[in-house]
Amino acid sequence: VGVAEVLPLVAERLGAIRGEESERGEPVYRRLVAALRRSIEDGALPLGARLPSERRLSSALGLSRTTVQTAYRELEALGYVESRRGSGTYVCGRPEWPSQPRASAIPKHTFARRAKAAGNTFLLDLMHAASTLHRYAFETGMPDPRLMPVRAFHAIIEDLFSQRSAEWVSYSPTQGVPQLRQALTHTLLPLRGLHGVRPEEVLITTGSLQGLDLVSKLFLEPGDTVLVEEPSFPGATQIFRSFGAELVGVPVDEEGLVVDHLQEVLARVKPKLLYVQPTLQNPTGAVLSARRRARLLDVASRWRTPIVEDDAYGLLLGQDAPPALKARDEEGLVIYLGTVSKILSPGLRVGYLVADEGLVRALSHVKQLTDLHTSTVSQFLVEGWLTTADVRGHLRTCQRVYGERLRLALDCLRRHPLIEPYIEPQGGIYVFGRILTGIQAARLRVESAERGVIFAPGDAFAVAGGLQDCLRLCVGASDLAALRVGLGRLLRLVEELQTPA
């Protein structure tokens, strides 16, 4: 493949991607990365092909040289290309991730429109990063596997497989196995202030992400508005967008969602849903204050706005955690989502949704079309753990360990003020920070990956664009020693990159 053949192809794909994603305000270098990746993955740029020089590509596409440089370095960090000194940049495949199959015989233009929204690779990349070995992996929202009760799981599995195979080898109810729904109402839900929930009001989901998908399927038509926090969790915003929803961001500060702002927005638009994480918001770690919780429920009631409360991290906050919004929801406007991913294991893919019985029934109807039911083995594993383990003791350990890690990370940032926390998180596993030296997170990430340090770039969490100077560090999966070294390396790099060579 010669350079002359490559240029029009990349230009065409960049144009197409621009069209598809312009409303998302993605930086140009990302779109260029996507265009080149797409070309490599479908074989248009085969293994060994030489990419145009940075100078040539920048002038051919009318992009700045820095944009092309950043894109090439990102592709290199992702393992798609390698640069050979004095010779150029070559496609080298994607060594640790099998490359995508060649273009399908069924053309892409026949795909539904939502396939474009699913084209965003942020979550795919995070999942991939979770299974690869960067030493200082601060990118994926992973709890520490060393804290997962593997021995207890072993005993439960042994019992399940030797004594109770009839219970898990066949299909199980779409709404979730009754024993697990019952166990949740006695264990995890009361810990979040949700007392007296009946099993009929609980739906087991395949991760809480599926809860978001089911809710979207039930409520959203293309063109509907969903209000979300700004910044927000890309897993959620991607799902809403895939149903054609327009997203409107409401800012978050130290007290969580700015409810005054929400009120102003509600005077202008009529959203189908409001998606919030009131307790340890991802990415900022904000906790909605008691005062704002009460006001939020008032405002939602006044405007009859259904709230999707994502409480993925609430159990990590400890004794001072405010009860879930759902605990004060007298009108049934709150759909509550929980998960065992951050306290037990994300690999089990067990989440739970709490809503009134009618809504749970309607959502079960949607779920039957998606996956019939969540893995029965996973459900029994979680149920076995909830009914036999010292759940509170385990949560206290998680809170203590993550608390130490968070404090250490915040100390490092305080001592070397190059990255400033967006807000000071009170718990959980994330620090969202702004880089103060003017360097963009994407560029920093390319350089830091070479030193074994990865993090999530802030712009992925932006709803209306921006946040290119922000990053999210997950401190959950690294012990104190690894955090000290990894953050030290990152901060040194930020310092080096601000000094002109």
Q: Does residue 44 sit in helix, strand or coil?
A: coil
Nearer to ligand PLP by Cβ, of 80 and 430: the residue is 430
Closest CA to 276 of 268, 284, 388, 14: 284
Report strand pairing: 419-421 vs 430-435: antiparallel
* Residue closer to ligand PLP (CB basis): 351 or 458: 351
The window from 156-164, 317-325, 339-347, 390-398 that contacts ligand PLP (CB under 6 A) reads 339-347
One of 34, 197, 209, 483 touching ligand PLP (CB under 6 A): 209
The least distance separating ligand PLP from the CB of residue 208, rounded to whole angstroms, comes to 4
Touching ligand PLP, residues 397-436 (CB under 6 A): none
Residue type, 79: G
Burial 31-49 (b: 16+ CB within 10 A, else e): bbbbbbbbbbbbebbeeeb
**For residues 27 and 351, which CB has a smaller minimum distance to ligand PLP in the complex?**
351
Q: Of the candidates 342, 361, 359, which has an alpha carbon nearest to the alpha carbon of residue 273?
A: 359
CB of 24 to ligand PLP, least distance (A): 19
Binding residue count for ligand PLP, defined by CB under 6 A: 14
Measured at the CA of 411, the angle between CA 408 and CA 412, to 5 degrees, comes to 90
Q: How far is the CB of 275 from ligand PLP (least distance, A)?
A: 9
| Window 127-186: residues binding ligand PLP (CB under 6 A) | 141
Q: Residue 201 interacts with ligand PLP (CB under 6 A)?
A: no
Which of residues 52, 176, 207, 256 is near ligand PLP by CB under 6 A? Answer: 207
Q: State the Rg of the chain over Cα.
A: 23
d(CA 151, CA 218): 39
* Angle at alpha carbon of residue 229, lines to 224 and 231, rounded to 5°: 115
**Smallest separation (angstroms) from ligand PLP to the CB of 350:** 8
Cβ atoms of residues 216 and 194 within 8 Å:
no
**Closer by beta carbon to ligand PLP, 201 or else 229:** 229
> What gap in Å lies between CA 478 and CA 473, rounded to an integer?
11
- Rounded Cα distance between 325 and 321, Å, is 11
Q: Cβ 130 to ligand PLP, closest distance in Å?
A: 10
Q: 228 and 250 in contact (C-beta within 8 Å)?
A: yes
Taking the least distance from each CB to ligand PLP, the nearer of 225 and 277 is 277
Nearer to ligand PLP, 44 or 307 (CB): 307
- Binder among 242, 277, 345, 378 for ligand PLP (CB under 6 A): 277
Candidate ranges 58-66, 189-197, 206-214, 397-405; the one touching ligand PLP (CB under 6 A): 206-214
One residue of 201, 213, 310, 329 binding ligand PLP per CB under 6 A:
310
* Closer residue to ligand PLP in complex, CB, 141/427: 141
Segment contacting ligand PLP (CB under 6 A): 12-20, 186-194, 201-209, 462-470?
Answer: 201-209
Q: Residue 241 corresponds to which amino acid?
A: R
Among residue numbers 341 through 380, which ones bind ligand PLP (CB under 6 A)? 341, 346, 351
Give a three-class secondary structure readout of 365-386: HHHHHHCCCCCHHHHHHHHHHH
Between strands 430-435 and 273-276, the pairing is: unpaired
Handedness of CA 361, 362, 364, 368 (dihedral sign): positive
Separation of alpha carbons 444 and 64, rounded Å: 18
Question: Which residue of the chain is nearest ligand PLP when measured via CB?
Answer: 207
Cβ of residue 343: shortest distance to ligand PLP, in angstroms? 10
Cβ closer to ligand PLP: 45 or 471?
471
Beta strands in 318-394 (DSSP E): 334-339, 351-354
Identify the residue among 233, 243, 275, 336 touching ligand PLP (CB under 6 A): 233
**From CA 461, how far away is CA 431, in angstroms rounded?**
13
Select 89 or 206, whichever has its Cβ closest to ligand PLP. 206
Least distance from C-beta 406 to ligand PLP, angstroms?
16
The contact set with ligand PLP (CB under 6 A) reads: 141, 207-209, 233, 235, 277, 282, 310, 312, 339, 341, 346, 351
